[in-house]
Structure 1
Amino acid sequence: MTESRVNMMAKAYILDRRSESVPNGGFHDMQCYNHQPVLMQSKSVKQKSTRSKKSVFKWDNCDVLRWLRKHHLQYYQLYGANFKEHDISGRALIKLNLIKLEKMEIDDQMHRNDLLEYILRLRLKHEQTELRLLFNTNNAV
């Protein structure tokens, strides 16, 4: 197949995906999908992720929505639109607190507490990674 034929098939695939519903509810935001679909992938071959792990501080709104969808699908279905409307970046995400979540119209106290717990875990994981990198940099010198 020629390169242009493959690109046309990929675009058609993406356009078809826009009209599909996401399993378990939710919504598709095609702007958050930066990757090209794999057209014919062998089941025996595992593909490595081409996306490198970037710092939470460098996450944009699409990365935050991807994290929420991947780790907390129920809250993504309920509040994904709120996170998108408020354009929550990674830097803003780890600075959220109960008051800010309430201002984002997350009215259920239990949901706010759960979301804050998940956010605090993400912040802790991020800080551990940053400390590890700092420690390795200092020991290399």
Structure 2
Amino acid sequence: MTESRISLREKAYILERRCESVPNGGIHDVDRYNRPVLLQQAKSLKKSARSRKSVFKWDNSDVLRWLRKHHLQYYQLYGTNFKEHDISGRALIKLNLIKLEKMEISDPTHRTDLLEYILRLRLKHEQTELRLLSSNVM
């Protein structure tokens, strides 16, 4: 068992030395699998993480932007409904079929489709939050 630890340490050392010789910076950090992250990669990852706002912090304009970007047909049909009801990100992920019907989205197929898109967004958001939690714990 100690032999495998020593060889893993040696492999890590060799890998670290290879990464340090890379132009534009060496090892900046390690990812959750203890793989080296180069400085350039780390900067781009931090930038993309900063640029994404949590769905809970979305205001109505963010919700309308999401609807327009991902579901243009429904934005054209129901964008005014989302605006009139001032749906924020927090309200968006709490929507259900009954609430969509109260928002005057009368077509059952459209309500089901919208709810599916909203549930996918909620799932994606929760996966991101879980990843952030697990990376902060480790």
Q: What interval of TM-score do these two structures reach, taking the shorter chain for normalisation?
A: 0.5 to 0.7
1:105 aligns to 2:104 (yes or no): yes
Q: What secondary structure does 1:110 align onto?
A: helix
Deviations 1:59-112 (A, max 9, x none): 000000000000000000000000000000000000000000000000000000
For 1:32, the equivalent position in structure 2 comes to: none
Deviations 1:46-68 (A, max 9, x none): xx98x810100000000000000
Amino acid at match of 1:56: V
Q: CA deviation at 1:126?
A: 0.1
Residue ranges of structure 1 left out of the alignment (5+ in a row): 1-47
Amino acid at match of 2:68: R
CA RMSD of aligned residues (A): 1.5
Q: Partners in 2 of 1:133 and 1:70 — Cα distance?
A: 25
Residue ranges of structure 2 left out of the alignment (5+ in a row): 1-46
Q: 1:3-42 residue pairs with structure 2 within 5 A?
A: none
1:66 aligns to 2:103 (yes or no): no
Q: Partners in 2 of 1:86 and 1:106 — Cα distance?
A: 12
For 2:89, the equivalent position in structure 1 comes to: 90
Q: Partners in 2 of 1:52 and 1:59 — Cα distance?
A: 13
For 1:19, the equivalent position in structure 2 comes to: none
> Kindly, what percent of the aligned residue pairs are identical?
87
Higher fraction of helix: 2
Q: Partners in 1 of 2:131 and 2:51 — Cα distance?
A: 17
Q: Partners in 1 of 2:64 and 2:82 — Cα distance?
A: 7
Q: What secondary structure does 2:105 align onto?
A: coil
1:123 aligns to 2:122 (yes or no): yes
Q: Partners in 2 of 1:138 and 1:52 — Cα distance?
A: 22
State TM-score, norm by structure 1: 0.63
Q: Partners in 1 of 2:85 and 2:51 — Cα distance?
A: 26
Higher fraction of strand: 2
Amino acid at match of 1:90: G
Q: What secondary structure does 2:94 align onto?
A: coil
Q: Partners in 2 of 1:113 and 1:77 — Cα distance?
A: 17
4+ runs deviating over 4 angstroms:
none
Aligned residues: 91
Comparing both chains, which one has the higher relative contact order based on Cα–Cα distances under 8 Å and sequence gaps of 6 or more? Answer: 1
Q: Partners in 2 of 1:97 and 1:122 — Cα distance?
A: 13
